[in-house]
Amino acid sequence: MSPNIKDLFDLTGRKAVVVGSGSGLGQASALGLADFGAEVIVADLNVEGAADTVRLIQEAGGTASPLAIDVTDTATVEAAAREHQDAEVLVITPGYNARKRLLDTTEDDFDRVIDINLKGTYRLMKAFGATMAANGKGSIVTFASFRALVVEPGQGIYAAAKAGVVQLTKTMATELGTQGVRVNAILPGSFETPLTTQIKNDTEWWDAYANKSALKRWAKPHEIAGAVAFLASDASSYVTGSSQLVDGGWMANDGRFEPKV
C-alpha cells in the first residue's frame, strides 16, 4: 500500500543541524524545518543570531537549541558532528562573496571565499556524512548558487567555489547512497539577504536582477524553505545527487528582450 504523501514531509522526531541559521536563508531553512516538526540545532558563528533564531522557533512552538560553530575550523566542525551523532538532517548554508573582477582580487580574497563556501562545505559533509553513514540514514542539503552555472563580472571566485559545492554534492551522493544517505544541492537565485546588501544599495543593479527572472522580482528568504523541507524529508526519498534551482526562472529566461508576438 502506498504511503500517505503528506506524512512523508513530517520531520517529527528528527534532529536537523542547520549551519548558518543565524540569519538569511539559513534562518529561513531552520524555521521551515521546525514547522515540519524537526528538532533544530541552530548552528552559526554568530551566537546572537543563532539565539534569535532559536527564540523565533520556540515562540512558534518548535524545539531548537543553539550551537556555536566555525566552518573554517575543522576541530569545531568535527566536535559538532560528535555532539550530534544522531542528526538525520544537515543543511549547509554559509556563504561569503568578494565581488571583484578577477584581476582586482587578492590571494586573501580567494582563500577566504574558498575556505568558507567550498572547504567549509567539505568539512561539514565529511564529518556529518560519516556519522550518518554509520547510522544508515540521513539527508544532507548543501547550498550552492545559480552562479555555479552562470556568472557575471565580479563573481568569479564565488562562482568557482559554488560549482565545486555542486560537484562535492554529487560525489558524496554516489559514495554514500548505498549507506542510506542522500545528498542534494540547492541553487538559490536572487534572494534578498545580508549577502546581497551590496546589490540592494545599487538601484540599477538591483532592478536588473529583478527583471532578469521570469517572475520579475527578488525572492524573500522564506521562499527557500519549501525546497529545504522537501529534500530533508522522506518526500524526496528517491532524490539524491541533484541540483535544485530556486531561482524564479532566471536560468529559463533569456531576459534580454520580450518580443511583441
- 150 to 14, 116, 199: CA distances (angstroms): 35, 20, 17
- Residue 257's φ and ψ, nearest 5 degrees, are -160, 140
Q: Which residues pair with 181 in a beta bridge?
A: 138
Distance CA 186, CA 255 (A): 22
C-alpha torsion angle, residues 249, 250, 255, 259 (rounded to 10): -10
Residue type, 173: A
- The separation between the first and the last C-alpha atoms of the chain, rounded to the nearest angstrom, is 49
In 3D space, the residue among 123, 131, 106 whose CA is nearest the CA of residue 70 turns out to be 123
Look up residue 124 and give its three cell numbers: 561539514
Q: Where are the beta strands (DSSP E) in 34-189?
A: 39-44, 63-68, 89-92, 138-143, 181-188
One-letter amino acid of 160: A
Contacts of 191 (CB under 8 A, 6+ apart): 24, 25, 218, 219, 220, 221, 223, 224
- Work out the number of other CB atoms within 10 angstroms of the CB of residue 61: 8
* Amino acid identity at 2: S
Catalytic residues: 158
